[in-house]
Structure 1
Amino acid sequence: MPKLYRAIAEYYDHENEHHAVLRQDVPFFLGQMPSRPRRQAVLELAVGTGRAAIPIAQAGHRVVGVDYAADMLEIAQRKRDAVGLGDAELSLARGDLLRPRYDLGARFDWVCVFFNSFLGFPTLEQQDRVLGFARRHLKPRGRFWVDVFQPDPSVLARPVSRGMEPTLFHVPRFGRSVLKTTDIRQSPESQVQRVTFHYTWLDEHGVTRRERTEFDGTYIFPRELRILLERNGLTVEHLWGNYDGSPLGANSPRMIARCCRA
């Protein structure tokens, strides 16, 4: 069985804040939304700590966020409350997208999954369940939005990559600065990557402490993404390669798809 992604919740925002993607994806998404009606109903899958959901709600939209991790949702609620939003603007629900017949009892103008979160479902069965869930929750004229990286052949060519992307970040809640590195082990026969995050810090006595988390992710090629979407009743209306609105090309870092119901 693949191992699903489970972040260290108090690390998540701080370890990822250096990614330019996280300053660009929500403004680009908001720029694609129609001006009328001004208030749209948005469902975010894998909402995590509310990193994307909160600014979408602050832009005037009614947002529901779903995640299976209670500790991530606790942080999302804390952040939501701190900026003066309430449940009427951003509702947070704990739920498993892979559970058969799971339904929120509402339909949305947009269903979204940001920042590679879709790739945390590495099997075809899991991907079909997530896309089926998304389609079921769309209004008839609703739109599905998915944003993932375009695979880098140079990374895929290495069976094992170690010590990638060294990042130093501070965790105020714990009063510690943490060094993070990433290892990736490829399983090309199943198109799965075992990703391990290594964390190292010094405690108050100067003793080195270590922690790690690991999970299975996948990667998707452009044609494969279209096939996955189409077989789950979603038609790609537009496919961008970056947040500047450029079309997808061979060297594009992202694959950003806006889809309608087929």
Structure 2
Amino acid sequence: MIINTCKKLEGEFLELRRQELDYIGKKLFAIGPINPVVIRGGGHRHECLNWLDKQSDGSVLYLSFGSTTTPSEDQVEQLAIGIVQSRQRFIWVLRSADRGNIFAEEAKETGYKLPAGFDNEVEGRGIVIRDWAPQLDILAHKSTGLFMSHCGWNSCMESLSMGVPIAAWPEHSDQPVNALFVTKYLKVGVMVREWDRREEIVAAKDIEEAINKVLVYDEGKEIKQRARDLGEAVRGEVMDGGSSRAELDLFIDHITR
């Protein structure tokens, strides 16, 4: 079994897993993160990266809820109001779920309408992207300070490996557990919406509070520092001497005997 994780993140849980009856005698290789941890420039750059270049370090909120989630119109409105009220700089990927996804039976190209006056309120301090965005490049950029995410594991790994705190908004599947892992166990994020309130519309004031808790309030300094330290440790796992690099070598040895 190959797992996209590493000892610096889940060493305790990997050892527990290896002791379970279903795994005794089986090979388990933790080789994550499998996403690139060194982002090299060159070629065409998305325009949002040029905008990020002009922002202060750690000042930008990045919002994206993945390709299997379609927020309601009411929720998008509250998100927009919360972003405006937070007064923070942001990049918001606002799109419907990919068509044909099993979790998106009601998904369609909604062409979300943002509240009247939104564009004027955020002019110069935010970008709304309605299509694909270079997520890893955004997370790796020094200006990005917080990722509001659905907490799919790939997104978690990308954010954590780049040392970016997470504002957790789980939607389905493994995401509630991932959100708890990030916020309660690793303590490198905050919860925007608790899982037992998943049927409710999250109010703008709660969204604003979650954003400012990391980007403005004093407690955010500790969260951001823990995230930076963890990111450095996780990136080291795939380098020479790291546990993920060692386990990848063991895996290659195992399949090429």
TM-score (norm 1): 0.34
**Greater fraction of residues in helix:** 2
**Greater fraction of residues in strand:** 1
Q: Which has the higher contact order (CA 8 A, sep 6+)?
A: 2
